[in-house]
Amino acid sequence: MKRQGVKKEPGLSWIEVGAVVHSFVSGDKSHPQSQKIYAKLEAMVLKIKEAYSVSVDTWKFNGNKELEIEVNFHCKRLAVALGMIALPESSPIRVMKNLRVCLGCHTLIKMFSESERRNIVLRDSIRFHRFSGGSCSCGDYWRNQVEVRQTTSHLLSI
């Protein structure tokens, strides 16, 4: 899977709806339902901001300046939003990702699982994440493995 000599493989997320696989890159606007997807994503983010009383575009958690969630359109957020629109409410949302999920998206998807009352399963290049009720089955494995500084620069590079 890993290609040597390629500095940064483009991130790709995909989701199956019915028999059709929909794939996204970050900031993707090529999907025919793109407008709906972005509107849904923005509505979900707004819901969380209200719930957590956050009014700025960069969210700081636990008073930790380094741990921020930038509002962006990373591919897995788009795939999750399509799942919210297109799949029946009783159905879990299963998203695949060719790279490791970034910490910002991991935190955000945890929140979505609570605010939208949906179970979300994300298979990234390392492991399965099962998000439910605001927590993830990996027990925040991510946080222990990656330096926050590294994560922050990844977020800013998008």
Tell me the C-alpha distance between 106 and 52, whole Å: 17
Query: How far is residue 107 from each of residues 2, 30, 83, 103, 141, measured CA to CA in Å?
Result: 25, 26, 18, 6, 12
Tell whether residue 138 is a contact of Zn ion (CB under 5 A).
yes
- List the interface residues with Zn ion, window 3-22 (CB under 5 A): none
Query: How far is residue 104 from each of residues 24, 85, 100, 139, measured CA to CA in Å?
Result: 18, 22, 12, 15
Tell me the C-alpha distance between 69 and 106, whole Å: 10
Torsion angle of C-alpha atoms 132, 130, 41, 68, degrees rounded to 10: 90
Task: From 12-20, 31-39, 92-100, 122-130, give the range in contact with Zn ion by CB under 5 A.
Answer: 122-130
Tell whether residue 129 is a contact of Zn ion (CB under 5 A).
yes
Query: How far is residue 85 from each of residues 23, 31, 93, 124, measured CA to CA in Å?
Result: 15, 13, 10, 22
Choosing from 37, 44, 79, 105, the residue that interacts with Zn ion (CB under 5 A) is: 105
Our CB check for Zn ion shows the closer of 17 and 158 to be 158
CB of 19 to Zn ion, least distance (A): 28
Our CB check for Zn ion shows the closer of 17 and 121 to be 121
- List the interface residues with Zn ion, window 60-89 (CB under 5 A): 74
Task: From 33-41, 44-52, 56-64, 104-112, give the range in contact with Zn ion by CB under 5 A.
Answer: 104-112
Choosing from 69, 86, 93, 136, the residue that interacts with Zn ion (CB under 5 A) is: 136
Residues that bind Zn ion (CB under 5 A): 74, 102, 104-105, 129, 136, 138
